[in-house]
Amino acid sequence: MAKYLYLIRHAKSDWNFDLPDFDRPLNKRGLRDAPIMAKRLNLQNLRPDRLVSSPANRAISTAKIFAKELKFSEADIQEEAAIYEADVPTLLKVINSFQAEADCVAIFGHNPGISLLAEYLCDDAAIDFPTCAIGFLSFNIEQWSEVSIGTGNLVWFNYPKLV
């Protein structure tokens, strides 16, 4: 048995200083890159069973673009407040709480949490997630509660500028 996880950093956001960080929207580059990356994910052999996103505007907007490409409804996206500005222990707690029937989950989040989580799970020295990067991890486990340090294997990594 195995579990699979797509770690997705939100697409490039606007730095409008009149808005709180939580409310920052995607900028032109983010709106261009997210559909491209959603198509790249859709070409992979494994489609996510669930989409889980930070509720921050830039993350949920990225998740909605991916949902459209993957033929999910926006209502299928589970918002998880703990993902916003989360550190590794918080993100791990979110993952460990996933229900067993979901074999493949996509998480839409933020840096530095997403990059640090990938490093923690895969025992890799440095995995830097630029905006809209996707890391696909596999785990030789039966329950999400078994995900912990070094249990993951980075199978696929892609980002907008990678041709």
Tens-place pLDDT, residues 107-131: 999 999 999 999 999 987 688 999 9
Q: Which residue has the tokens 């052999």?
A: 45
Q: Are strands 50-53 and 77-79 parallel, antiparallel or unpaired?
A: parallel
- For the chain, counts of helices (H) and of strands (E): 4, 6
13: part of which helix (H) or strand (E)?
A: none
Q: Is the per-residue pLDDT at 59 higher than 80?
A: yes
The pLDDT score that the predictor gives to residue 91 is: 98
Beta partners for residue 61, in sequence order: none
Say which DSSP state 40 is in. Answer: H
With bands split at pLDDT 50, 70 and 90, how would you rate the model's confidence at 1? confident
Give me the phi and psi of 13, to 5 degrees please: -110, 165
CB distance 129 to 118 below 8 Å: yes
Q: Is the pTM of this model over 0.85?
A: yes
What is the domain partition of the chain in residue ranges?
3-158
Q: Where are the beta strands (DSSP E) in 42-100?
A: 50-53, 77-79
As given in the structure block, the two tokens for residue 26 are 């995607």
Homologous superfamily of the 3-158 domain (CATH): Phosphoglycerate mutase-like (3.40.50.1240)
Q: Is the per-residue pLDDT at 163 higher than 90?
A: no
